[in-house]
Amino acid sequence: MGERKRNKVSEALRGAISQIVLFELQDPRIGFVTITSVEVTKDLMQAKVGVSILGQEADRTKALACLDHARGYIQEQIGRKLELRHVPALKFELDDSARKGEEVMRLIEEAMKDNRREE
């Protein structure tokens, strides 16, 4: 499978999953979820879906469990929206890059404040 086709399928899946989660899932436990990435295996049989979820750790865990529970519905909707021979099996994983970025920025700001005080 060519890398270009995998990237194209990954982007199509990311867009479709985002639309389904945003507009079709009615579970209030999911909260504010952003689909950050989709990585498809070479054989297009599986896809790892990176999700960023705002909130406390318990809320994030609950939202991830709800997404996992809705996986069958999401895959069914993908099958209807996209013209794929086979809809990849989805695996949702937390993407903490945004949270880590915020923490790094906070640490940099603290260091800058401390540096200004010392001058």
- DSSP character at residue 70: T
Distance CA 20, CA 43 (A): 24
Which CATH number is 11's domain given? 3.30.300.20
pLDDT at 31: 83
How does pLDDT run along the chain (119 residues), one tens digit per residue? 688 999 999 999 999 999 999 999 988 888 889 999 999 999 999 999 999 988 888 988 999 999 999 999 999 999 999 988 899 999 999 987 766 777 788 888 888 887 777 76
Predicted TM-score (pTM) of this structure = 0.80
Q: How far is CA 87 from CA 4, 69, 91, in A?
A: 18, 17, 12
How many domains would you assign to the chain?
1
What is the domain extent for residue 43?
3-118
Distance CA 5, CA 59 (A): 35
pLDDT at 18: 95
Q: Token pair 């750790």 is at which residue?
A: 57
Contact 32, 18 (CB under 8 A): no
